[in-house]
Amino acid sequence: MTAPAAITPIEFIFLGTGPSNAIPDVTCLTRPNPSCKVCLLATQPAERDSRPPRRSDPRVAEVQMWNKNRRGNTSGIYRYRDATGTIKNILIDCGKTFYASAVQWFVHYNIQQIDAVILTHDHADAVMGLDDLRSWTLHRDGPVQSTIPIYLNQSTYTVISSIFPYIINASKATGGGHIPSLTFHIFDTPTLTTFPPFLINATLPVTPFPVEHGRKGSDPYYCTAFLLPHLTYISDTNHIPAPVFELVRRSENRVLVLDCLREKDFASHQGYESAIPCAEALGVPRVYFMGFNHECEHGEFEKVLESEEWGKGLREKGVKAEVAFDGLVIQL
């Protein structure tokens, strides 16, 4: 997607690159004889040279950084500069590990305001952190902002209404606790043939499109993916339908973030046995895989992408593929 003249995409920050239960899996660590290689690696401090450059106020003590196998729920921050030169921060998904990720990466990169949130679907790893947004709108030293716009489809709004009725309607709150101030914007649900675009805060164009994320009974369960200027974001999928595949292939975006759970395909996620051929066929010049569980060790997957068996086709198509990790910043 070509950026409008008033929009300058800057960067994308991966807040989380792991599965719904995150990595390490606590039950791997509490077994009598822990043997899960990835979960054990995820408890180790990172090598210092692997830490992203720090931008936060030096008076704030640095939160312990972890190696590239420690992964929160898939999420990220899309950053762009608007016509006035102001940097805007768009959060994609707000799941169960959002607050822990924010404590690490919002602080590390000195990000304060959330100009909007886009939600991909109604699963816990995409929406259960919404309550934690209260810090931005209700702080003892004054709010960062009066409200946070949330962009989502109708089915996700319906589920959130049942989980967090007090967020939707403050009159349903009990106990006198603080409630985040959120403003919901329901965008038209895309189909396999129609992809109605919408604007975030009247400035940033976004095209939503559906990808399959397992099944709901006998029917496909769809997760929403997005085309933003310079970035295609597909977080949860086990299959990209043909009409959608063509939409992405024909887009002008040069960066693709793509779901990849492990080596073998799963009922609701691609393994790299499908994700790598998918990236080859789409031909987007830069691909970042994410969404890994504890069957996928970061360094080993890097070697997979470097191998002749798996990496040759990508290189022949001119695709540079990398393994994303929490805290990674990519330039747009």
**What length is written for the chain?**
332
Q: Which residues of 238-276 are buried (b: 16+ CB within 10 A; e: fewer)?
A: bbbbeebbebbeebebebbbbbbbbeebeebbbbbebbb
φ, ψ at 10 (rounded to 5°): -110, -60
Q: Is the pTM of this model over 0.85?
A: yes
The confidence score (pLDDT) of residue 1 equals 72
Task: Catalogue the E-assigned strands of 229-293.
Answer: 231-234, 255-259, 286-290
The confidence score (pLDDT) of residue 36 equals 96
* pLDDT, tens digit, 9 for 90 and up, residues 99-148: 999 999 999 999 999 999 999 999 999 999 999 999 999 877 788 999 99
- Tokens representing residue 262 in the block: 């492990």
- Tokens representing residue 283 in the block: 């031909």
Closest CA to 197 of 169, 224, 222: 224
Q: Could you tell me which CATH class the domain 8-325 is placed in?
A: alpha beta
- Tokens representing residue 47 in the block: 């090598």
The confidence score (pLDDT) of residue 148 equals 96
Cβ count near 94 (within 10 Å): 28
Q: Edge-to-edge, what's the strand order for the sheet holding 320-323? A: 198-200, 204-216, 219-228, 231-234, 255-259, 286-290, 320-323
Q: Where are the domains of the chain?
A: 8-325
* pLDDT, tens digit, 9 for 90 and up, residues 162-206: 999 988 876 566 665 678 899 999 999 999 999 999 999 999 999
Please state the rounded mean pLDDT for residues 46-55: 71
Determine the distance from the C-alpha atom of residue 152 to the mean position of all C-alpha atoms in its chain, rounded to a whole number.
Answer: 14
Q: Which residues of 107-119 are buried (b: 16+ CB within 10 A; e: fewer)?
A: bbbebeebbbbbb
Closest CA to 73 of 17, 129, 12: 17
- Percent share of the chain, pLDDT over 70: 95
Cβ partners under 8 Å of residue 110, min gap 6: 55, 56, 57
The answer on pLDDT for 59 being more than 80 is: no
Mean pLDDT of the chain: 92
CA atoms within 13 A on the CB side of 301: 29
- Tokens representing residue 76 in the block: 């990220």
Closest CA to 196 of 222, 220, 227, 238: 227
Residue position matching structure tokens 């974001």: 233
Number of helices and strands in the chain (H, E): 11, 14
Name the DSSP letter for residue 189: P
**Would you say 308 and 325 are in contact if contact means Cβ atoms under 8 Å apart?**
no
Any bridge partners for residue 14, and if so which?
Answer: 76
Q: Edge-to-edge, what's the strand order for the sheet holding 148-152? A: 182-186, 148-152, 116-118, 87-92, 75-81, 8-16, 329-331
The confidence score (pLDDT) of residue 52 equals 74
Any bridge partners for residue 73, and if so which?
Answer: 18
